[in-house]
Amino acid sequence: MLAALAAVPLALARSQAAEPVSQVVDLLKEMQTTLEKEQKADEDMYAELRSWCKENNDVKTVEVSDGQARIQELTSLAAEANASSESLAAEMTVLGKEVQEATAALDSARVLHGNKVETFNDNEKSLYKDIEAVQAASTAISGGEPALMQLPEGRLKEMSARLQDAVSRRAERLDNTLSVRDHERLEAFFKDPSGFVKGLSLMQTPIGGELAGMMEAMEDDFKVDLKALQDEMAKELKTYEELMASKKEEIKASEATKESKRQQRVEKRQSMMEMGFEIKSIEKAEGQVSR
Ligand SMILES: *[C@@H]1O[C@H](CO)[C@@H](O)[C@H](O)[C@H]1NC(C)=O
């Protein structure tokens, strides 16, 4: 445009020297108007371009800052989820240990109870045996059963030996029951049991009656012990069963809690992964915008 203006005087000088001045002035005016119009159009276009650029730039800036904010939010949410996941894992470890301990307690209670049952069975068996020994001797001495009078010598000796075993086994227990005289009578019986049961006349002798009374007292003692033993066992069994039930309940509850924590943890890990994907996709999208 400036070049065009500069060219005008040359053109006038060369080919339009003869034209009247007014025509030249008109031409110049027309050219000026055209130039002004073009300049205005240029300026408008420039302004428009400028404003478009500015707008576009602003939009881009907003997009970037939204993405950054979302990434920040996701990052802190992921860290929270990670912290939850970590503490859930720690809680699960504690619960696992609790289950292990309760299981160990259950096992040792089972072994202990097994030993107690075994001891009880032995003691009960031995008491029954001793009660039977006393009853057999008592029956023989009191002559309650005529058949016993015809007991062969060997069987009688055996019966006496069993009673002797019972008395010596429970000597401490019988300390309150048997007097020194009772022991002397028993010794005599052990030495020669047939002397006490052979003759029918024995039933009437005071010594036979005393022995029979002693046997009854001994039987009572043993039965009291048996009852105490059985009661104790029943109590032990009840305690054991309650302990077993409560430990099993405890284990079940701990396992259920652990399972629910495991599920919660899986969910946390899943959401962490999803947040990670979202962060990556925002970063990718922003990379495309800024390029
Ligand atoms: C989760 O937290 C633990 C402990 O703070 C850390 O060692 C681990 O790198 C974190 N994991 C993620 C994916 O952030």
pLDDT tens digits, residue range 81-95?
Answer: 999 999 999 999 999
C-alpha distance from residue 154 to each of 157, 160, 203, 244 (Å): 5, 10, 22, 50
What is the CA(254)–ligand 1 centre distance, in A? 26
Q: Is the pLDDT of residue 270 over 50?
A: yes
- Ligand 1: distance of its center to the CA of 265 in Å? 14
The rounded distance, in Å, linking the Cα atoms of 4 and 219 is 147
- Name the pLDDT band for 111 (thresholds 50, 70, 90): very high
Q: Choose the weakest-confidence range: 57-66, 142-151, 242-251, 253-262.
A: 142-151
Is 84 close to ligand 1, i.e. is its CB under 6 Å away? no
Q: Is 271 in the pocket of ligand 1 (CB under 6 A)?
A: no
pLDDT in tens, 122-181: 999 999 999 999 998 888 777 655 545 566 777 888 889 999 999 999 999 999 889 999
Q: Ligand 1: which atom is nearest the Cα of residue 82? A: 1
**Would you say the CB of residue 86 lies under 6 angstroms from ligand 1?**
yes
Q: Which ligand 1 atom minimizes the distance to the CA of 78? A: 14
Domain regions of the chain by residue span: 85-279
DSSP string for 169-212? HTTTGGGGT--HHHHHHHHHHHH-THHHHSSGGGGGSHHHHHHH
pTM: 0.65
Q: Which of 184, 196, 186, 124 is nearest to 161 (CA)?
A: 186
Local confidence band at 53 (pLDDT 50, 70, 90 cut-offs): low
The pLDDT value recorded for residue 261 is 98
Q: How confident is the model at residue 202 (pLDDT cuts 50, 70, 90)?
A: very low
Residue 150: strand, helix, or coil:
coil
pLDDT band at 41, cuts 50/70/90?
Answer: confident
Q: Which two tokens stand for residue 61?
A: 């800036």
Q: What is the pLDDT of residue 201?
A: 45
Q: Is it the case that residue 206 has pLDDT exceeding 70?
A: no
